[in-house]
Amino acid sequence: MADKKTANLMIGDAEVGLPILTPTAGPDVVDIRKLYGQVGVFTYDPGFTSTASCDSTITYIDGDEGELWYRGYPIEQLAEKSHYLEVCYLLLYGELPDAEQLTDFENRVTSHTMVHEQMHNFFRGFRRDAHPMATMVGVVGAMSAFYHDSTDITDPWQREVASIRLIAKLPTIAAMAYKYSIGQPFVYPQNELDYATNFLHMCFSVPAEKYTVDPALAKAMDRIFTLHADHEQNASTSTVRLAGSSGANPFACIAAGIACLWGPAHGGANQASLEMLRQIGSVENIPEYIARAKDKEDPFRLMGFGHRVYKNFDPRAKVMKESADEVLDLLGVHDNPTLQVAKELEKIAREDDYFVSKKLYPNVDFYSGIILEAMGFPTSMFTPIFALSRTVGWIAQWKEMISDPQIKIGRPRQLYVGADKRDYVDLDNR
């Protein structure tokens, strides 16, 4: 990034020149790394609304134009023409693979899909009614206890093995979390199946009978994985980077990302969005909920709406909406009340001044739940599916950070507004 300009900042009588860095795309960045050293002040930006935490070559979002690129390739093209493991290769290594590279990568992932058999016992320590996200956080964090031969982050080979293991095993772990929650036996991965088909087979087959996954559903599942694969420095990715900056092992970092994703303001919104649509129940009830969403005194928010970056439409939501129509049609689910409420809610919100003025549009979580529910997943499995899809993005971002020679532990400063220095008061004098 060439330093083409300088921002001059006056602090009292002191003037400081801050380099302005120019990205490939997006707004210029004022480099404030030397600010405190030069003039003794911090910057203040809770929630990082105007602050870049790193430079990255992986994903780019233009919130005004509704653009999302993985390594420069628009998400719409990847969703239509690529498939998830090819997108994984692209995110991890920066370029689309040739036929030989793709086959080798798919074989490496496929040969790591099983988990250590002792993990079956580990699962049995959880209550059956535990939320699958709770078991996923626990099990993925525990992977460093099962795969300690790939936890040395200074060894590029171990970093690569850990990355492949995580991409390969997350669907198996997510499916195990689901099976465990419904009291059914775990289903082993079948290596002759592709990634998405394997996941659906592990979730929905039972030992008592043969189960064949509908290729059209597998394609829709694979597209959902692709749409969720990465998304710049969102909350969970920033969590993974911050955990990784301390030198924590990759399994612990991904477990931290899963924990953060679970929040309803983030990846948990797909579960919350479908539950909201069910709560609204019918098109007639929409105005009441729109009014609640606008009411400052009411904590209710339209889940699946709004985004920190997208101030137009979320390109993933557009693809997801098309996919919802296809999947429901394929499954013969017509007049789905939840989809009807979702489409009418989107229509009303797009015409309502409150949502238009605040640039609140459906995000990736608004339609995904409708597809996943139609496929047979309970709402509790929506965020685990988001987590397994995003694992490759977290790993790509973690690898980018770890291999940066200038890596520093992340340690934000603060604006202290607590008590001034004071002396201890004995109990008798309080």
Segment interacting with ligand SDX, rule: CB under 6 A, options 28-36, 110-118, 361-369, 377-385: 361-369
Site of tokens 């996941």:
199
Smallest distance, ligand SDX to C-beta of residue 277, A = 12
Q: Does 360 bind ligand SDX (CB under 6 A)?
A: yes
Minimum Å distance from CB 255 to ligand SDX?
A: 17
Q: Is 241 in the site for ligand SDX (CB under 6 A)?
A: no
Nearest distance in Å: CB 421, ligand SDX: 34
The verdict on 276 binding ligand SDX (CB under 6 A) reads: no
| Element (DSSP H or E) covering residue 5 | strand 3-11
Instruction: Give the integer Cα–Cα distance in Å for 402 and 399.
Output: 5
Q: Is position 307 an interface residue for ligand SDX (rule: CB under 6 A)? A: yes
| Residue 5 contacts ligand SDX per CB under 6 A | no
Nearest to 77 by CA among 64, 170, 90: 90
356 in contact with ligand SDX (CB under 6 A): no
Near ligand SDX by CB under 6 A: residue from 293, 319, 345, 402:
293
Contact 349, 290 (CB under 8 A): yes
Asked if 207 contacts 177 with a C-beta cutoff of 8 angstroms, the reply is no
For ligand SDX, which is the closer residue by CB, 1 or 356? 356
- Which tokens go with 8? 């001059």
Compute CA 72 distance to the chain's CA centroid, rounded to the nearest angstrom. 19
| DSSP states of 12-80 | TTEEEEEEEE--SSS--EE--TTHHHHHS-----GGGSS------SSEEEETTTTEEEETTEEHHHHHH
Q: Can you tell me the distance from the alpha carbon of 115 to that of 21, in angstroms, rounded to the nearest whole number? A: 45
Supply 242's token pair.
Answer: 């911050």
Half-sphere CA count of 197, side-chain side, radius 13 A:
14
- Where does this chain touch ligand SDX (CB under 6 A) — which range of 119-127, 165-173, 306-314, 337-345? 306-314
Query: What's the min distance (Å) between Cβ of 293 and ligand SDX?
Result: 4
**Min CB(410)–ligand SDX separation in Å:** 17
User: Given the complex with ligand SDX, which of 213 and 370 has the nearer CB atom?
Assistant: 370
Is position 265 an interface residue for ligand SDX (rule: CB under 6 A)? yes
If one asks whether residue 308 binds ligand SDX (CB under 6 A), the answer comes out as yes
Residue positions annotated with a catalytic role: 307, 365
Query: Which stretches of the chain bind ligand SDX, using CB under 6 A?
Result: 47, 231, 234, 265-267, 269, 293, 301-309, 358, 360, 363-365
